[in-house]
C-alpha cells in the first residue's frame, strides 16, 4: 500500500558509483531504508552479483519484501551484525546513516517535533524501550548527559530538570508535542530558523537506538568482511556521525609504529581514503534534508 510518507535517497548515484566496481561480486546495503540505494545497486550487478541488506525497521523490511530479485536478501537486524558475514566476502559496504523521511514524517513513530504522536523513536519497535519509557525513570543527570553529549545542547541541564519536574508534578511525558513544548520553555536562545527541540530530539533518538555505538561496531566489522580493493561508503548527516567515520578512516589509513618495540614492523594500513563528497546545489534545492550530508569513501587495502 502506498503511504503519504515518501523518501528521496540522498547522493544516490554518487554512492552507488563509488561502491560498485565489480558487477559479479557481493555487496552490502547496511541500512536498507526504503531501498533507493539497493535498487540501483542491483541494476549495476550481473546475474552472478549479490546484495545483502540490513535494517531494524519493520516498515523497511516490508518494503524490502517488494523486491523479488533472487540476487537480493534482507536481514531484520541492525548493521552491527555486519561482522556475522564471512570474512573478506564482500566487495563493498554502504552505510546511509540517520533517519529516513517516512520515519520522520509518520507521527506514530515519534521522531519529529513537527507532529504530535507517541514519544517512541525506536528504529525497531519490536525491541527495547521507547524514549517515553526511558524518560519516565531517568534521573536529571542521566538526561542532561544524553542531551548534552548526543545533541550538543548547551541547555541540557535546564531541559533535564524541566522533564523531571514535569514528571513529578503531572506524570511522565508521553507525546512528542509535550516534550517539544517543555524543551521550548527551557531553551533560552536558539539559532535562527531552528526549532528549540531539534537538538534534544536528535540526542534522544541517537541514545535510545545506540546509533553511535552501532556505527563504531559496524565500521570495525567492515574491515573483516571487505575484500582487498573493496569499498566502504558512508553517508553521515550530523557532526557526531561524521567525526566517527572520519577518525575511523584516518586511523586505518596509516601505518602504526609501536613505540615500545621500535624495531618491530609497523602495523600496516588497512584502508585508503578516496573521497569526500557533499550533495550539489541542485540536489539540496530539490531535497532540503540532503544539505547536511557528507559521504566518505575508502578502499580496503590488501594485507
pLDDT digits (tens, 9 = 90+) for 148-187: 999 999 999 999 999 999 999 999 999 999 999 999 999 9
Q: Do 90 and 55 share a domain, yes or no?
A: yes
Q: Tell me the three state secondary structure of residue 242.
A: helix
pLDDT number for residue 263: 60
Q: Would residue 67 count as lying in a domain?
A: yes
Cα distances (Å, whole numbers) of residue 160 to 3, 118, 190, 260 = 36, 19, 17, 46
**Can you say whether the dihedral through the CA atoms of 180, 181, 186, 188 is positive or negative?**
positive
Q: What's 183's domain CATH number?
A: 1.10.150.170
Is residue 95 packed enough to be buried (19+ CB in 10 Å), middle (13-18) or exposed (0-12)?
Answer: buried
Cα separation of 64 and 291, whole Å? 27
Give tens-digit pLDDT for 68-126.
999 999 999 999 999 999 999 999 999 999 777 777 778 888 888 888 999 999 999 99
**Listed range (189-203, 218-232, 251-265) with the worst mean pLDDT:** 251-265
State the CATH number of the domain containing residue 73: 3.40.50.150
Determine the distance from the C-alpha atom of residue 25 to the mean position of all C-alpha atoms in its chain, rounded to a whole number. Answer: 25
Which of 158, 187, 208 terminates a domain? The answer is 208
Residue ranges with strand state E in the chain: 26-29, 50-54, 72-75, 90-96, 226-236, 271-277, 294-300
Grid-cell match 512528542, residue found: 176
C-alpha cell at 260: 615500545
Of 247, 267, 246, nearest to 255 by C-alpha is 267
Whether the Cβ atoms of residue 233 and residue 297 lie closer than 8 Å to each other? yes
Res 190: pLDDT: 76
Identify the domain containing residue 291 by its residue range: 12-101+211-300
pLDDT band for position 4 (cuts 50, 70, 90): very low
Q: What is the pTM of this model?
A: 0.90
- Distance between alpha carbon 85 and the CA centroid of its chain, in Å? 20
Phi-psi region of 213 (alpha: psi -120 to 50; beta: other; left: phi over 0): alpha
Distances in whole angstroms, Cα of residue 232 to Cα of each of 23, 212, 238, 293: 16, 17, 19, 16
Residues 77 and 223 in one domain: yes
138 occurs within a structural domain: yes
Q: Are residues 239 and 225 in the same domain?
A: yes
Amino acid at each position: 500500500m502506498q503511504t503519504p510518507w515518501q523518501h528521496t535517497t540522498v547522493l544516490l548515484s554518487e554512492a552507488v558509483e563509488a561502491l560498485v566496481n565489480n558487477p559479479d561480486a557481493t555487496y552490502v546495503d547496511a541500512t536498507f531504508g526504503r531501498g533507493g540505494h539497493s535498487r540501483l545497486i542491483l541494476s549495476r550487478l550481473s546475474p552472478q552479483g549479490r546484495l545483502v541488506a540490513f535494517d531494524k525497521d519493520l516498515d523497511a523490511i516490508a518494503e524490502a519484501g517488494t523486491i523479488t530479485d533472487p540476487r537480493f536478501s534482507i536481514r531484520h537486524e541492525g548493521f552491527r551484525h555486519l561482522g556475522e558475514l564471512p570474512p573478506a566476502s564482500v566487495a563493498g559496504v554502504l552505510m546511509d546513516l540517520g533517519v529516513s523521511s517516512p520515519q520522520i514524517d509518520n507521527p506514530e513513530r515519534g521522531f519529529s517535533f513537527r507532529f504530535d504522536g507517541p514519544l517512541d523513536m525506536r528504529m525497531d519497535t519490536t525491541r527495547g524501550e521507547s524514549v517515553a519509557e526511558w524518560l519516565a525513570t531517568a534521573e536529571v543527570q542521566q538526561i542532561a548527559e544524553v542531551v548534552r553529549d548526543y545533541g550538543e545542547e548547551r541547555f541540557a541541564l535546564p531541559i533535564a530538570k524541566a522533564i523531571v519536574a514535569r514528571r513529578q508534578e503531572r506524570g511522565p511525558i508521553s507525546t512528542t508535542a509535550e516534550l517539544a513544548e517543555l524543551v521550548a520553555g527551557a531553551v533560552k536562545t536558539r539559532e535562527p530558523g531552528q526549532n528549540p527541540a531539534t537538538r534534544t530530539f536528535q540526542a534522544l533518538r541517537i541514545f535510545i537506538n545506540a546509533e553511535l555505538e552501532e556505527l563504531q561496531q559496524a565500521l570495525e566489522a567492515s574491515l573483516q568482511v571487505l575484500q582487498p580493493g573493496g569499498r566502504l561508503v558512508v553517508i553521515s548527516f550530523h557532526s557526531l556521525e561524521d567525526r566517527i567515520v572520519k577518525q575511523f578512516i584516518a586511523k586505518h589509513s596509516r601505518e602504526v609504529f609501536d613505540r615500545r618495540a621500535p624495531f618491530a614492523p609497523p602495523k600496516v594500513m588497512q584502508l585508503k581514503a578516496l573521497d569526500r563528497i557533499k550533495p550539489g546545489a541542485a540536489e539540496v534545492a530539490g531535497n532540503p534534508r540532503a544539505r547536511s550530508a557528507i559521504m566518505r569513501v575508502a578502499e580496503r587495502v590488501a594485507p
